[in-house]
Amino acid sequence: MDRGLYVAMTGAKQIMQAQAVNNHNIANINTVGFRADAVSFVSQPIYGPGYPTRVNAVASDAGTDFSSGVMQGTGRDLDIAVNGSGYIAVMGSDGTEGYTRAGDLRVSVDGAVTTAAGQPVLTESGPLNIPPATTVTVGNDGTISVVPLGLNPIGISPTDRIKLVNPPAKEKKPSRNQMPQIATRCQPSRFLPAPAHHPIHF
């Protein structure tokens, strides 16, 4: 078989991988907190006996588009939007710390604050829980304040603070093992970001 066919086959395979990334972006265009991945192609010479006259086109990770869309008012006290490239710390299904940008939070019947997917939201000391309350608000530093049931609205008081983190400057996504806590801000309650990314990146 002509070795040139292998170069063409490799190019077709890399295009399929890039299309898979674009399909993922399109499928999540209305997902709260989603940020699109980008793909670029680089030339990779094929080395071996003789001169490297053949070159493969290889799809590579070009990072994540962290641009934010227009903030949309939702009227929900537990809807928040993280500024910049920050993340909300959550507990994964295996009990380890994970990260999300989905700020449409919920409160379970036992007072646990979770994401819409059911992942517990974390503070510096563990999962976030709040007492029964008539009003719940989130400040731009992640502080949760409540008006406990039976108290006057002027009795609002802070209860805890959501753990907000930033990925390292050179990383496009957070690492499960090492995520430094850097000063990160979020929009106050009742706002979620509209999709801002273009679903196809090359």
How does pLDDT run across 18-68, given as a tens digit for each residue? 888 888 888 877 777 677 788 888 888 888 777 777 788 888 877 777 776
Average pLDDT across the chain, whole number: 77
Count of alpha carbons within 13 Å of 97, Cβ hemisphere only? 20
97-100 β-sheet, strand order? 97-100, 87-91, 164-165
What residue type is assigned to position 151 of the chain? L
How does pLDDT run across 133-151, given as a tens digit for each residue? 888 888 888 888 888 877 7
> Is residue 73 scored above 60 in pLDDT?
yes
> Is residue 112 scored above 50 in pLDDT?
yes
Q: Which of 14-18, 26-30, 156-160, 182-186 has the highest mean pLDDT?
A: 14-18
Band of pLDDT at residue 199, cut at 50, 70 and 90: low
What's the predicted TM-score (pTM) here? 0.64
- Give SS3 for 123: strand
**Full 3-state SS string of 80-120:** CCECCCCEEEEECCCCCEEEECCCECEECCCCEEECCCCCE
Annotated domain spans of the chain: 4-64, 71-193
pLDDT confidence of residue 180: 45
Band of pLDDT at residue 155, cut at 50, 70 and 90: low
> Is residue 120 scored above 90 in pLDDT?
yes
**Percent of the chain whose pLDDT exceeds 70:** 77
